A and B are shown apart, each in its own frame.
Chain A
Amino acid sequence: EPEVTQTPSHQVTQMGQEVILRCVPISNHLYFYWYRQILGQKVEFLVSFYNNEISEKSEIFDDQFSVERPDGSNFTLKIRSTKLEDSAMYFCASSEGVQSNYGYTFGSGTRLTVV
């Protein structure tokens, strides 16, 4: 079964450093997403991406965050200057479309720890 692949599985970074989280969505999917889950809390939407541009973003996704699809396969989330409160599990997801018969496929996540 096709998978969404995320790397690294765990990243520790110092406060103020830049991090890039990487994802390889399913190859025929057109919509890409980043979600995050702070320990013990709900999974929260960050950003959706379609046709090489952001289609929707949440209030969490401020100027410190950016996304990019640098080539035909990778989808990245960059946090420019990490804060302690950015510590969370970050999930990448992809979807074939935005109709009712299409679901999301999530990756296994990157656990980001900011120290």
Chain B
Amino acid sequence: KQEVTQIPAALSVPEGENLVLNCSFTDSAIYNLQWFRQDPGKGLTSLLLIQSSQREQTSGRLNASLDKSSGRSTLYIAASQPGDSATYLCAVWYAGYSTLTFGKGTMLLVSP
């Protein structure tokens, strides 16, 4: 069964730190991987989409990498800010399926 695992489950850092969130998946046959942000009680905002043929994607202070052979993706956040506080979800679109499989997320708290 395809799974997505995210570690750590929660992370608390002071403002200005660079940080890395980890995502692992169980099958290298994927269409793509998406990172989402979810604020408490709110919807899912897409941050970055990495296609299966790509190794990384960047948007502003965010950089996501993909290593299919090891079944891992990382989301790197540079110079964290209190406004980055949210839950970050990793979702994998496994090949042959029409669905996304989500991890449980990493709850990030950036303190001023």
How does the 8 Å CB contact mask read for A88-115 relative to B, with 1 for contact and 0 for none?
A: 0101000000111111111111010000
- Count class of interface residues, chain B: 20 to 34
Contact in complex: B103, A105 (CB < 8 Å) = no
A contact residues, range: 20 to 34
Closest chain-B Cβ to A5's Cβ sits at a distance in Å of 11
A22 CB, min distance to chain B CBs, angstroms: 15
Contact A100 B34 (CB under 8 A): no
User: Shortest Cβ distance from A1 into chain B, in angstroms?
Assistant: 10
User: Among the interface residues B42, B51, B89, B98, which one has the most CB atoms of the partner chain A within 10 A?
Assistant: B98
- Of the candidates B41, B44, B99, B104, the one whose C-beta lies within 8 Å of that of A91 is B44
Residue B102 at the chain A interface, CB threshold 8 Å? yes
In order of increasing CB-CB distance, the 9 nearest A-B pairs are A108-B43, A103-B49, A106-B44, A100-B51, A43-B102, A45-B99, A100-B31, A48-B98, A109-B43
- How distant is B35 from chain A, measured CB to nearest CB, in Å? 10
Query: Residues of A contacting B31 with CB < 8 Å?
Result: 98-100
